[in-house]
Structure 1
Amino acid sequence: MRDAPYFGDLADGPDGAAYWLTAADGVRLRVAAWRGGDRGTVLLFPGRTEYVEKYGRAASDFLKRGYSTVAIDWRGQGLADRLVPNPLVGYVRRFTEYQHDVAALMAALPALNLPRPLHVLAHSMGGCIALRALINGMPVRSAAFSAPMWDINLPRRMRPVARIVGAASHPFGFSKRFVPGTSLQKTYVDAADFAGNELTTDADMYAYMRAQVAARVELALGGPSIGWVGAALREVAALSRHPSPALPVITFLGSEERIVCSTAIARRMARWPGGRLVEVPGARHEVMMETLDTRARFFDETSAFFTAAQDAAQPGPEAA
C-alpha cells in the first residue's frame, strides 16, 4: 500500500491521508483515512461521480462524535483508474465488479490501523454496492444509508431497451457512450446552476462541491454511459430478489428526492427486520450536504445509531 495524492485543502476536513490499493482484477483504487475517533470506524461508500475529498466535512462531523472515517474512490471515478478512453464517461461493465473494490478496502483495513467496530455508511450508488456487500457477508456492526440507489428513476418503457443496449456485448457497441440527454462533458455541479439543482438546497455546500472539481479537474466525472445504466438496472433487479441482511440499519431519504427511486427504498426498508426509514422534509439527494440543521440531525442520529448498535452487540469474538 503506497501513499496517494490527497487534496486536504479541498476536503476541508480533519488531517487525512490517502493510499493506493489494487483490486484483484488489477484496477488501481484510492482510499482516504481520517483517524482520531476511537469509538469505531465509518466505512464511507460514495455515490457515482464522487471522490474521497467530497467527504472531508463529513469526516469532521464524525470525528466530533468520536468516529474515524475511511472513504474510497470507486473504479472509474476520482483518482481511481478510469475504465474507458474518455475519462469523463461513467462506465462499469458489471456492478459486481465493484465488489473487487470492497474486498480491496476490507483487506487494507489492518494496515490502515483504524479502530473497531466497523460501520458502513453508503450514499446513492454506494448504497447499491453496500447492499450487495452486506448480502455477501461484509463484516460490519451496522449500516446507514443516504438515498441508496436500490432503483433509479427511469421510465418503465425505457428499461428493457437500456438493459439490452447497455450490455457490454451488444453488437452495436453503445455501452461506452453517454446516455442521450445526459452527455455532460463535465460533472453535474459544474454543469447545473444552484437554482433548481437536484442535490442540495444549501448554497454553501453546492459551492464546496463546485470548487473541488474546478480546482482539480482530474476528479470530475460526466454523465453515465449506456452501459452503466444497463449494469445498474440489472443489479438493482437482482438485489430486489434478495432478503434484507440481519443487521441493524437506518436509511435517510429526502422528501425532494429526484435521482433514485423513493418507492424502492420504502419497499426495501419495510421488509428489513428492525430497519428504520427517516424521511427528511425539504431535503434533496445529498442529505449529508444539506442545510446546517439537516446535517446536524443526520450526523447526530447516525452516530447515535452506530453507538446503540455497538452497545446492543452480543459479547464474543470481534468480527467487525
Structure 2
Amino acid sequence: MQKIKQSWLRREKAFASFATGPLLDFWHRREECEFTGVGNLTLRYVRFTSPQHHRVILIVPGRIESYIKYPELAYDLFHCGFDVVIIDHRGQGRSDRLLEDSHRGHVVDFNDYVDDLETLYLKEIVSGHYQQRYALAHSMGGAILALFLARQPRAFHAVALAAPMFGITLPLPPFLAHRILDWAEKMPALRDGYALGTGRWRAHPFGINQLTHSRERYQRNLRFYADDPAIRVGGPTYHWVREGVQAGRSIISQVNNITTPMLLMQASEDRVVDNRSQDLFCEAMAAAGHPCEGVTPYVIEGARHEILFETDAMRAQALNAVVDFFARHV
C-alpha cells in the first residue's frame, strides 16, 4: 500500500502515460452492471473485484457525474486492497433519464436517490459477504449517503464524505431564492425547466472552472463528456434545486439517527456547496453524541469543490485521510 500512496504525490508529472497505460489496463477489467430503481428505471453501476479482497468501498458520485469519471479513484482504492463499486444515479451517467431533454438535471423526489442506493447496497454490498464495508461520497452523493445512513446506520463500518452537499450555494439571497423555488413549483412548465442562470451542458475552459486546480484531471474529465454526448448533463431544474435544499434540511433534522463513524472533508475554496452547512452538520452530530472524526470538518486547505480530483498534494492528503480512517474502523 505504501508504494501506491507514494505514487499519489507525483502522478500529474506523467499523467498522460499513466492514464493511457496502467489506468487504461485497469479500466478494461471493469464489470458494468445494472439494476432496476424506483419507477422501473434502469440504473447502471460498475465494479472492480478481486478474490483476494475482503473489504469494499461503495462510491457515491455527485450531480451530473458518471462512473466513467472515476477510474483513477477506483484504481487507487483497488490497489489499497478494496473492491470498488460505483453507481450512476438516475438521470445521469449511463442510467435512465427522467425528462425528454436529457441535459436537464432532474429528480422527482430526492429520496428516490436514497431508495436506489439502498437497492444497490442490498444487491452488491450485502450479498458480497465482505468483512468490512465502507462508503465514499462526493457532493450530492454525500447528501444521498447521509440520508441512507439515517435509515441504516449500521450498513457500513465507516464512511467518508468529500465536500458533501448539505447546503447549495445559491445565486440569490436565500429568502428570495426560496420564494422563487416555491413559486416555480406551482408552475409545471417552469418547475421542470432549467434553474436561473443554467442550461444545457457545454465545455468550460480550465481557466474559469471552479472545481479543481488540476489542469490534467479537469481536461481528462472534460474529454469524457465531450467524447460521449450520451452522458452529458447540464444545469438542474428548479424542482431539483428545491429537492436538494429540502434534502439538506432533512439531513440536519435526522442527525440523531446517523451514528456511523464519519470523516467529513471540506474544501476551503468551495464555491459549489455551502461550507457553513457542513459546519452546522458537524456541530449537530457532536451535540447528538456521535461527532464526526475530529469533531469539525477536516479542511483541505486550498482545495476547490472536487477534492478527489484536485492536484496531487491535496488529493493525496484527502486519500490518505480516507484510507487511514477506514483502517481504524474494522
Q: Which residue of 261, 275, 282 maps to 2:302?
A: 282
1:177 aligns with 2:193: yes
1:160: Cα distance to partner? 2.2
Show the counterpart of 2:48. 34
Give the unaligned 5+ runs of structure 1. 1-7, 311-320
- Within 5 A, what are the aligned runs for 1:61-72? 61-72=76-87
Structure 1 residue 172 displacement after superposition: 4.5
Partner secondary structure for residue 122 of structure 1 = strand
Residue type at the aligned position of 2:190 = F
Residue 269 (structure 2) aligns with: 256
SS in 2 for 1:251: strand
Residues of 2 paired with 1:182 and 1:42: CA distance? 33
Percent identity over paired residues: 25
For 2:235, what is the secondary structure of its paired residue?
A: coil
The equivalences for 1:1-320 within 5 A come to 12=24, 13-14=26-27, 15-36=29-50, 38-109=53-124, 113=128, 115-137=130-152, 139-154=155-170, 155-167=173-185, 170-183=186-199, 185-187=200-202, 190=203, 192-244=204-256, 245-272=258-285, 273-276=290-293, 277-310=297-330
CA–CA distance in 2 between the matches of 1:88 and 1:112?
A: 34
1:315 matched residue in structure 2: none
CA distance in 1 between counterparts of 2:161 and 2:126 reads: 26
Using structure 1 for the length normalisation, give the TM-score: 0.87
Paired with 2:139 and 2:177, the residues of 1 have a C-alpha distance of 19
Question: In structure 2, the residue corresponding to 1:161 is in which secondary structure?
Answer: helix
Q: Flag the structure with higher helix content.
A: 2
Shift of 1:45: 0.5
Counterpart amino acid of 1:237?
R
SS at match of 1:271: helix
Normalising by structure 2, we get a TM-score of: 0.85
- The code of the aligned residue for 2:81 comes to G
Equivalences, count: 297
Q: Is the 8 Å Cα contact of residues 163 and 306 (structure 2) preserved in structure 1?
A: yes
Q: Secondary structure of the residue that 1:309 maps to in structure 2?
A: coil
Runs of 4+ in 1 over 3 A off after TM superposition: 8-14, 110-116
